[in-house]
Chain A
Amino acid sequence: MGNCFPGLMHKINMSGIAKNRIQDETAFVLHSYPFRETSLVVEVFSRQHGRVPLVARGARRPRSALRGLLMSFQPLQLSWFGKHELRTLHSAEWQGGQPLLQGTALMCGFYLNELLLNLLARDDPHESLFDYYRLTLQRLVQEVDHAATLRCFEKHLLQELGYALLLEHEAGSSRPIVAERSYRYVLEHGAVPQSGQEGEGMTVSGKTLLDMAADDYSDASSAREGKQLMRMLLNHHLGGVVLHTRELIQDLRKFN
C-alpha cells in the first residue's frame, strides 16, 4: 500500500518518538504499589502528559535513592521512556517548595489523589487542572479549615473533565439564577426552578448556586448545600466507587 500522505506519516512517527522519551516533566505521585520483587509502580499526575503509570525499577531495595523521593504531594522532575502503557522511570529529582502535608491537610491530600485516580483517564493531559492541584496542595498547608478548598478543587476537576456545573443560569435557558429562589439540581441537566415538593434532583437555594459560582463558602448554608451537591455529582461520575478517604475523614470528625 502506497503512502499518499508523506507529511502525515512523518507527523505520526514524530509523535511516536516523542511519546517514547519524556524529559524533566513536572509531576506528582498520586499513588504507588509494589511491583515484582524490588520495584514499584508509581501512578503520577504530570503536567503535560496527564496521568501516567511508571515502573520505578529497584525502588523497593533498602538503599534505593528513589525510595524516599517518590513521595506523594511533592513536586518532582521526572524523566521516563517506553511505548507500552506501563512506562519506565528513568530519573527523579526533588523540586521542593511544597511543605509536607500533615494532619487533616494530609487526609485531604489523599482525598484529592483518590478523586484523580478514579476520575482521570491515563495519558489525558490536563495542564490547568495540574496547576490547580498544585495550588490546592499549597492552600492545604496554609489553612485551618479545608472545606472551601476541597469544594473549589472538586468544581475545577468536574469542569476539566467536561462536566462543568451550571451555576449561574437555569438549565437549558438564559434565565439567571436568583439568590432568593429555590431550585432543584438535576444530574446531567442543571438547576430548574423548584415547583412543589416532587421532582428529581436535589433541592438547593439560588444563593448556594451563586456562591458556588463565585467559590464563596463563607455562608454556612452554602457550605453545607454545596458539599451535598458536589457529593451527589461526584458519586454520579464515580459510578459506585467508594472513596476510602471520605470514610477516614468522617471517622476523624466523629472523634473530635
Chain B
Amino acid sequence: MKTPSSLEELIQALRCLPGVGPKSAQRMAYHLLQRDRPGALQLSAALGQAVQNIRHCCKCNNFSEDDICGVCLAEGRDTSLLCVVEMPSDMLMMEQTQCFRGMYFVLMGRLSPLDGLGSRELPLERLVQRARELNSEVILATNFTVEGEATAHYLATLLRAQGVKVSRIARGLPVGGELEHVDSGTLAQAVLERREVQG
C-alpha cells in the first residue's frame, strides 16, 4: 500500500520536532487526521501565527510578540539585577518563585563544546551590552549540569573582564529535603560548599 503523499508530507514535517522519530510522527499524523481534525486545523493556524508573530525581545532575548516583552516593560522591577538563564522555561520557573524581581536575559541555549556548540552560538554581545546598559549585577542561573557550569564560567570570565559584577546561584539540598533521601552528588557538594553558621 502506498501512503498518500499529503500524509507522507505531514509525517515528514512532524519529524522536525525533537525526539520524534518516524514511528511517533506516524502516530501523531494518524491521530490528527482520524480523531482530531479540528485540533489539526487549530494547530496549523497556531503554528503559522506563532512563526509570523513571535520574535526575540530586544532586551532579554526571550520570545516576544513585541520588540520589548512584557517583563522588560513592567514597572517596578529591580534593574540592578540581571538574571541569566538558559531557556524560557527556566525564566518561567524563576518568575513562579516570586523571589526575584529583577531583569532577565535568556541565552536560548548553553555552551556544549562536545556537541560543537561554542560561544558563537550564543548572543553574548547582546548580553554584555544589556548588562552595561543596566549597570547591574549579573546573576548566573544556568543549570548545574557540566554544560551549564561551563557556560557560567565562560560568562563570568567574559563579564568580569568588562567590569561587570557577577554572582552564581547557590546549590545544595532541596528545601524540606532529608539527607537520607538526597542523591550522593548533591550531598557531597553541599558538604564541600558548606557555610559558617552566623549569629
Residues of A within 8 A of B (CB): 30-31, 33-34, 36-38, 65, 68-69, 71-74, 94, 96, 99-104, 106-107, 109-110, 113-114, 117, 244-245, 247-248, 251-252, 255-256
Task: Tell me, rounded to whole Å, the shortest Cβ–Cβ distance linking A93 to chain B.
Answer: 9
Pick from A33, A247, A256: contact of B157, CB under 8 Å: A256
Q: Can you name the residue of chain A whose Cβ is closest to the Cβ of B24?
A: A37
Q: Can you name the residue of chain B whose Cβ is closest to the Cβ of A65?
A: B183
* Contact call A37/B20, Cβ cutoff below 8 A: yes
Closest CB pairs A-B (n = 10): A244-B113, A94-B184, A255-B161, A37-B19, A245-B113, A31-B114, A255-B157, A72-B146, A103-B153, A252-B157
Taken together as a complex, chains A and B put the C-alpha atoms of A247 and B114 apart, in Å, by 12
Confirm or deny: B149 has a beta carbon within 8 angstroms of a beta carbon on chain A.
yes
Confirm or deny: B116 has a beta carbon within 8 angstroms of a beta carbon on chain A.
yes
* Contact call A247/B153, Cβ cutoff below 8 A: no
* Contact call A69/B113, Cβ cutoff below 8 A: no
* Contact call B153/A107, Cβ cutoff below 8 A: yes
Confirm or deny: B150 has a beta carbon within 8 angstroms of a beta carbon on chain A.
yes
Taken together as a complex, chains A and B put the C-alpha atoms of A251 and B192 apart, in Å, by 29
* Contact call A244/B114, Cβ cutoff below 8 A: yes
Taken together as a complex, chains A and B put the C-alpha atoms of A74 and B19 apart, in Å, by 27
List which B156-199 residues lie within 8 A (CB) of chain A: 157-158, 160-161, 183-186, 188-189, 192
Q: Can you name the residue of chain A whose Cβ is closest to the Cβ of B115?
A: A33
Taken together as a complex, chains A and B put the C-alpha atoms of A137 and B14 apart, in Å, by 43
Judged by DSSP, the binding face of A is mixed
Pick from A94, A251, A252: contact of B185, CB under 8 Å: A94
Residues of B within 8 A of A (CB): 18-21, 24, 111, 113-119, 145-146, 149-150, 153-154, 157-158, 160-161, 183-186, 188-189, 192
List of A residues within 8 angstroms of B185 by Cβ: 68-69, 71, 74, 94
Pick from B114, B116, B119: contact of A110, CB under 8 Å: B114
Task: Tell me, rounded to whole Å, the shortest Cβ–Cβ distance linking A60 to chain B.
Answer: 8
List of A residues within 8 angstroms of B111 by Cβ: 248
List of A residues within 8 angstroms of B183 by Cβ: 65, 68-69, 94
* Contact call B115/A256, Cβ cutoff below 8 A: no
* Contact call B18/A34, Cβ cutoff below 8 A: yes
Q: Report which residue of A68, A109, A244 has the largest number of chain B beta carbons within 10 angstroms of its beta carbon.
A: A244
* Contact call B154/A256, Cβ cutoff below 8 A: no
- With A36-B21, A256-B161 in contact, do A71 and B145 touch (Cβ < 8 Å)? yes
* Contact call B192/A106, Cβ cutoff below 8 A: no
* Contact call A71/B146, Cβ cutoff below 8 A: yes
List of B residues within 8 angstroms of A72 by Cβ: 146
- With A37-B24, A106-B149 in contact, do A96 and B184 touch (Cβ < 8 Å)? yes
Taken together as a complex, chains A and B put the C-alpha atoms of A37 and B157 apart, in Å, by 35
